[in-house]
């Protein structure tokens, strides 16, 4: 048989590889589920699918908009678009937008199924592991009587069945575990080994912006499973960090996960961040949220801002990390594309949240206008392994790019 | 046994009415095709793993796979498998063609007929 073996050197690849890394680069903390070869392959496929949709198909939506959607609207109405909603409604009639949307939604649902299969088939083991790690640990403070805010109860955010709060059985952590293991697929690996590219970016930004800040107490509101607060807790190891979320499974999983990663200075507390009356006035040096405000509501946001003002010590800093606001400079097309997740990926408040004047809301909550801060950050990842959002000019995955705006204030 | 049935729950619907962008039947089919594409990628990646492991352990080289030429008998066996495979996949068209040449009553019509006293 050896005569069949070619002596020729292996052919060079026909083009430089620029896709997502293999799923196996994802960090395996102690709460990670067991994943089979085929389950990993599913996540690989889904990461590629999302990347393909954003780099190969979505640019066609803009081309179709320029070539036919906008001209058709202008011809029919004798004027241009007056807002992003008109653009979206016109796009909905275009076949390329329809196909991109159908595939994007299908990919999200398929990703949920892939991750849920992994966690549900080993639910008992995962839940037992979380129980062993969190039982009798004072850092987990659950409140089973907490009423669920309407913005969580009404709809399952980003098509995640059961959202942040559902427990299929006592002590269930399969929901957050599914969330954790699938972020790689949804973002095409843009958030790094521990899905903490956002938190890493915040930690670096704080250290750079306020080099003298030595916070003793830090509050993370809407912490979820804590993937973004961990880098901050690690950046300030002497600080006492409080991570608040409404979902008990997230907090339970979050504490267990943090412990297996050797991060021990975070308490995970169940609470509704529009009313944190259990926490004392002026008891925190730093308060932040990361990609959280867009999952709340118009009614709760002023209360959240007021609570952050009340809880912050004089001289303390508050900031919120979000996708960019819809300013008058942002074209209606971009605004409409950014609204996709609001209407078609169960993020209903996304659209309204991005049009409000956050500065005015901060001022109304008591912050001085001249103490407001604005900045931009991009995910900090290991560039040898992961794609870097800051350097990625090929993809603008409207609303999902791993680069954000920061709005904040010093009290 | 766990109280949680992954087969029933993995594909659960998320809360919130689902949007459709295409004709609903076409979009349903698109969702099914996407998952089949995913599973094909899964099988392809598993085969790739297998080939690389076999190569690593010196059982064969991937070059041998690339240059493999079946014998006449092997080729016939493979061809027969492909014929059988296509016949299974396109059964509905075969039966459509057979129906062109017949005038048959439906089972419902036959039921009515057989119920007559």
State the ipTM, two decimals: 0.85
What pLDDT shows up at residue A388? 74
Closest by alpha carbon to B38, among A389, A220, A49, A278? Answer: A49
Look at residue B1 and tell me whether its pLDDT is greater than 90. Answer: no
B32 and B64 co-located in one domain? yes
Nearest residue on chain A to B37, alpha-carbon basis: A45
- Distance between B92 CA and the closest CA of chain A, angstroms: 27
Closest-CA residue of chain A to B21: A98
User: Nearest-CA distance from B83 to chain A in Å?
Assistant: 28
Instruction: Determine contact: A166 vs chain B, CB below 8 A.
Output: no
Residues B63 and B104 in one domain: no
Q: Same structural domain for residues B76 and B57?
A: no
3-state secondary structure of A370: helix
B30/B64 same-domain check: yes
Distance of CA B101 to the CA centre of its chain: 29
Residue B97 and residue B115 in one domain = yes
| DSSP result, B3-53 | S--HHHHTTPPPSSPPP-SS-HHHHHHHHHHHHHHHHHHHHHHHHHHHHHH
Residue-wise pLDDT tens digits, B5-17: 999 999 999 999 9
Among B38, B46, B67, select the one facing A110 at the smallest CB separation.
B38
pLDDT of residue A10: 57
State residue A11's pLDDT score: 59
- Please report, in tens digits, the pLDDT of each residue of chain A (411 residues total): 444 445 555 556 778 888 899 999 999 999 999 999 999 999 999 999 999 999 899 999 999 999 999 999 999 999 999 999 999 999 999 999 999 999 999 999 999 999 999 999 999 999 999 999 999 999 999 999 999 999 999 999 999 999 999 999 999 999 999 999 999 999 888 888 899 988 999 999 999 988 999 999 999 999 999 999 999 999 999 999 999 999 999 999 999 999 999 999 999 999 999 999 999 999 999 999 999 999 999 999 999 999 999 999 999 999 999 998 999 999 999 999 999 999 999 999 999 999 999 999 999 999 999 999 999 888 888 877 777 776 665 556 777 788 889 999 999
Asked whether residue B9 is domain-assigned, the answer is no
Whether B114 and B78 map to the same domain: the answer is yes
A231: its two tokens = 């880098």
Interface of A with B in 338-367 (CB under 8 A): 343-344, 346
Among the partner residues B14, B20, B35, nearest to A346 by beta-carbon distance: B14
What pLDDT is stored for residue A2 in this prediction? 45
Structural domain contains residue B116: yes
> CB A174 to CB B4 under 8 A?
yes
Does B108 lie in the same domain as B79?
A: yes
Which residues, listed in sequence order, are joined to residue A383 by a DSSP beta bridge? none
> Tens digit of pLDDT for each residue in B26-64?
999 999 999 999 999 999 999 999 999 999 999 999 999
B positions 16-45 inside 8 Å of A (CB): 16, 18-22, 27, 30-31, 34-35, 37-38, 41-42, 45
**A chain contacts of residue B3, beta-carbon cutoff 8 Å:** 169
A32-411: CATH superfamily = Vaccinia Virus protein VP39 (3.40.50.150)
Q: Are residues B74 and B63 in the same domain?
A: no
Please give the tally of structural domains in chain B. 2
**Quick one: pLDDT at residue A385?**
76
Whether B26 and B62 map to the same domain: the answer is: yes
Q: Which of B19, B34, B45 sits opposite A103 (nearest CB)?
A: B34
Q: Residue B49 is nearest to which of A37, A113, A120, comparing CB atoms?
A: A37
Residues 135-154 of A with CB under 8 A from B: 154
- Between the CA of residue A257 and those of A227, A292, A379, B7, B55, what are the distances in Å? 9, 20, 21, 26, 38
User: Domain ends where: B47, B68, B89?
Assistant: B68
Predicted structure pTM score: 0.91
Query: Would you state the pLDDT for residue A57?
Result: 92
CA angle A396, A401, A356 (to 5 degrees): 100
Question: Do B58 and B90 share a structural domain?
Answer: no
Q: B28 with B40, same domain? A: yes
Range of the domain at B103: 70-117
């Amino acid at each position: 048989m050896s005569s069949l073996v070619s002596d020729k050197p292996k052919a060079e690849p026909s083009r430089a590889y620029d896709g997502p890394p293999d799923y196996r680069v994802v960090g395996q903390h102690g709460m990670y589920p067991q994943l089979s070869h085929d389950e990993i392959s599913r996540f690989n496929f889904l990461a590629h699918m999302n990347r393909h949709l954003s780099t190969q198909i979505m640019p066609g939506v803009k081309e179709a908009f320029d070539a036919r959607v906008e001209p058709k609207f202008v011809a029919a109405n004798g004027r241009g678009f007056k807002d992003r909603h008109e653009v979206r409604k016109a796009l909905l009639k275009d076949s390329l937008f329809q196909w991109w949307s159908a595939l994007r939604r299908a990919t999200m649902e398929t990703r949920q199924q892939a991750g849920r299969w992994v966690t549900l088939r080993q639910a008992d083991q995962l839940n037992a592991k979380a129980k062993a790690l969190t039982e009798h640990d004072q850092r987990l403070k659950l409140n089973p009587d907490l009423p669920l805010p309407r913005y969580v109860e009404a709809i399952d955010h980003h098509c995640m069945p059961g959202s942040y709060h559902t427990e299929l059985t006592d002590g269930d952590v399969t929901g957050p575990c599914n969330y954790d293991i699938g972020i790689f697929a949804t973002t095409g690996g843009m958030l790094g080994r521990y899905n903490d590219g956002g938190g890493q970016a915040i930690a670096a930004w704080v250290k750079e912006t306020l080099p003298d800040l030595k916070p003793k107490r830090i509050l993370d509101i809407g912490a979820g499973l804590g993937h973004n607060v961990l880098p901050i807790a690690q950046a300030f190891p002497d600080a006492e960090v409080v991570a608040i979320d409404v979902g008990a499974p997230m907090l339970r999983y979050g504490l267990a996960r943090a412990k297996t990663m050797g991060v021990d200075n975070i308490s995970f507390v169940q609470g509704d961040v529009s009313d944190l009356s259990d926490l004392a006035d002026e008891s925190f040096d730093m308060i932040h949220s990361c990609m959280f405000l867009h999952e709340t509501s118009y009614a709760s946001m002023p209360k959240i801002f007021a609570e952050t003002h009340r809880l912050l010590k004089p001289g303390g800093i508050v900031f919120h990390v979000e996708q960019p606001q819809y300013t008058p400079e942002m074209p209606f097309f971009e605004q409409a594309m950014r609204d996709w997740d609001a209407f078609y990926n169960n993020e209903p408040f996304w659209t309204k949240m991005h049009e409000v004047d956050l500065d005015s809301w901060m001022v109304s909550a008591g912050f001085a206008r001249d103490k407001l801060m604005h900045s931009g950050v991009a995910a900090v990842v290991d560039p040898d392994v992961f794609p870097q959002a800051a350097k990625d000019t090929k993809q603008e995955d409207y609303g999902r790019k791993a680069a954000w705006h920061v709005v904040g204030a010093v009290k | 046994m766990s109280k949680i049935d992954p087969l029933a729950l993995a594909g659960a619907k998320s809360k919130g009415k689902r949007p459709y962008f295409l004709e609903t039947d076409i979009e349903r089919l698109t969702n099914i095709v996407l998952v089949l594409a995913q599973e094909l990628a899964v099988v392809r990646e598993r085969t790739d793993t297998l080939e690389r492991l076999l190569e690593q352990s010196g059982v064969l080289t991937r070059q041998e796979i690339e240059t493999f030429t079946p014998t006449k008998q092997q080729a016939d066996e493979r061809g027969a498998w492909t014929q059988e495979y296509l016949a299974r996949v396109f059964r509905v068209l075969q039966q459509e063609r057979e129906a062109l040449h017949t005038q048959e009553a439906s089972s419902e019509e036959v039921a009515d007929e057989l119920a007559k006293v």
